[in-house]
Structure 1
């Protein structure tokens, strides 16, 4: 995997560095994580990489299009490696889990604005909100009690 990551950095005209490789590897294995989680994941294998280096790498990788930054309303920014396909996300209102959802229809921008106001639209961002299966099961009323409270 390291050679693939090195090739991606070079293709984006970026120098191959240990912090950049570490961040890309962390995001490969853990999509949709926040900055603090990326720092923890990087430190697990590279304890000398500073917090600031991780922040800088995330910015550089995002600017280069190798990483996508998403920030659902009311949530901290998250990062993922899946880029360039204009996919969308499902977010659990209970636990905050985020999963990818392919484009609603067709190719990018996937949706057509009712009025584009002269903009050249090249991307649409959709966030679906709901409850993940684990939280739905956890929050479901028990089937062992009837409405009168008798078991």
Structure 2
């Protein structure tokens, strides 16, 4: 991803109705460089870059940015919430069941997976579907002794 410069971060925050603060810009930059990161991972990245935010400040920034639609939060099964800056499309995700890495998957065009529910009792407005695929990344699939048996992992058969 291309890094956000200071002015782009400010414009993005102001367009969302937020003040442009150093912690918010730092979080945006960290997520541009490391998409799908957890709050704990972001804290480590920010400290390594010389930005010292308390845990509470980091969570406040993530809540503000997610609430304003600047960030998207996803939570694959068994994972802490992960954050990304790609919010303007309906992409999906694939998660490595070995190392937990997450990658974006563009939405299929044409006959897509079940994106339209057959019925939505009590929900007259349906906005989008979140689809998560599970598999092994290249590194984990090549690891000696990697387990390819889906019978032992029910989530793989879902």
TM category (shorter chain) comes to 0.7 to 0.9
Give distance in 2, aligned partners of 1:30 and 1:48. Answer: 18
Counterpart position of 2:59? 55
Secondary structure of 1:3's aligned partner: helix
Counterpart position of 2:154? none
1:73 pairs, out of 55, 71, 77, with 77
**Structure 1: which 5+ residue stretches go unaligned?**
142-151
1:11 pairs, out of 10, 15, 20, with 15
Q: Which runs of 4+ in 1 moved over 4 A?
A: none
- Checking the alignment, whether the CA contact within 8 Å between 2:38 and 2:80 is kept in structure 1 is yes
Counterpart position of 1:92? 96
Secondary structure of 1:75's aligned partner: coil
Deviation at 1:49, TM superposition (A): 2.2
Q: 5 Å matches for 1:136-151?
A: 136-139=141-144
Deviation at 1:140, TM superposition (A): 6.1
Query: Alignment RMSD, CA only?
Result: 1.7
- Checking the alignment, whether the CA contact within 8 Å between 1:26 and 1:38 is kept in structure 2 is yes
- Checking the alignment, whether the CA contact within 8 Å between 1:62 and 1:68 is kept in structure 2 is yes
Counterpart position of 1:116? 120
1:21-78 deviations in Å (ceiling 9; x for gaps): 0000000100011111111112223443222111100000000000011000111111
Give distance in 1, aligned partners of 2:56 and 2:124. Answer: 36
Counterpart position of 1:131? 136
Give distance in 2, aligned partners of 1:6 and 1:18. Answer: 10
**Structure 2: which 5+ residue stretches go unaligned?**
147-158
- Checking the alignment, whether the CA contact within 8 Å between 1:104 and 1:111 is kept in structure 2 is no
Secondary structure of 2:143's aligned partner: helix
Deviation at 1:111, TM superposition (A): 1.2
Figure out how many residues of one structure are paired with residues of the other and give that number.
138
